Amino acid sequence: MPEHSPRPKPQAPKPKAPKPQVPVKPRDLVDPTVTKDEKTKQPDPFAYKKNDRGSKLYGPDGIKAGDVQQGAIGDCYLAAALGAVAGSKPDAIKNAIKDNGDGTYTVRFFEVGWDGKKTTHAESVDADLPQAPDAATGGEKPAYAKSTEMVEGKAFMELWPSIVEKAYASWKGSYEAIGNGGNPGDVMTALTGEACRSSQTAGVGENDQLWSKMLKASQEKRPMTASSGGEEDERYKDPKAGVYGHHAYTVMGVEEKKEGAKTERKVTLRNPWAKRRRTADAAAVGDTGNATGGGVFQLSWKEFRALYDNVIVNGG
C-alpha cells in the first residue's frame, strides 16, 4: 500500500500590488459673488491664469509678515493672520506647504477641538490664480492674496500667500465662503496647531493684564492680531486715525520705551492692505510714506486701546 504524500502546507496569498495612485487635479474655485461690476452690480469674476511667469513659492528674503497683501475680497482676517504667523513663526508656514513638484502644492491645516485634541486636514491646489488688472504696470496681478516683497528694488512674486489662501478657500468651499469676514484665530490655529485666546482692549485702568499678556507674547514670538470695531463707528471717520472699522491687523510687536522720565508703551501694527491708509485719506492728511511703508505703523498704548476692541494671541 503506497504511502500517502504529506499534505502541502497552505501558502499565504501573494500580496496584491498596490493600485497606482492617480493624482487628483486641484479644482479651480468658484469666484466670489462679493466681487461685483460697479455699474451692473452683477458678479464680475476674475479669470484664472496659468502660473507661467516663473513665480517661486518663496522670495530671496524668506517668509516675512510684509510678504502678505490682501486682495479684492473681505478676508482681512486671513491676511492679518498670515502676516502674524509669518512674522513670528515662519517655519509654521514652511512646514504647512509641500511642493509636489508638478505645479501643485499640498497645504496641511490643523483643527484643535475644545478638548485640545488636534487633527489635520490637507488640501492640494495648483498655482493658477484669478487675475485682476494692475494699473501700476498695465499688466495683471493676482486678484486676491498676493506678495509684496521687494529686494534691491526688484519685485518678487512669492506664491505662498496666494497658495495658502487658495487652499483655505478650497477647504471651506470657495473664495466666496472665506470672502465675507472671519476669525483670525481660526487661521492662526490652522497654521500652527495651537489654540488662540481672545481679549478685549477695554478693562480696568490701563488694562495692565492685557499689556503683560501681549508683551510676553511678543517676547516669545507668538502670533497676534488686533481687530477694530464697527465699520460705521465714529472712531474711524477721521482719516488722521489711519485705522478702519471691521478690519483685522497684524500685531508686529509691543515694547516699552523710555521717553525722558516716563516709560511709554508702544504697539506696532501692520495693515494687510500693505499700506496704512486709503490713498485719498493719505493725501488728505499728508501721509507721504503711505505707499512705501508696507502698512506698518506704531501707536501708543492709549491710542491702541481707543481704536481697537479685540486682541487674539496664538499659543501659550
pLDDT below 50 — which residues of the chain?
1-9, 18-24
CA angle 113, 117, 120 (to 5 degrees): 85
Task: Give pLDDT tens digits for 282-301.
Answer: 999 999 999 889 999 999 99
Q: Where in the chain is the domain with CATH 3.90.70.10?
A: 196-314
Distance CA 3, CA 169 (A): 74
Q: Which pLDDT score, from 0 to 100, does residue 39 have? A: 77
Task: Give pLDDT tens digits for 158-201.
Answer: 899 999 999 999 999 889 899 999 999 999 999 999 999 999 99
CATH architecture of 196-314: Alpha-Beta Complex (3.90)
Enter the C-alpha cell of residue 96. 504647512
Q: Which pLDDT score, from 0 to 100, does residue 52 have? A: 61
| Sequence-distant (≥ 6) Cβ neighbours of residue 11 within 8 angstroms | none
pTM here is: 0.87
CB atoms within 10 A of CB 177: 17
- In one-letter notation, the amino acid at residue 86 is A
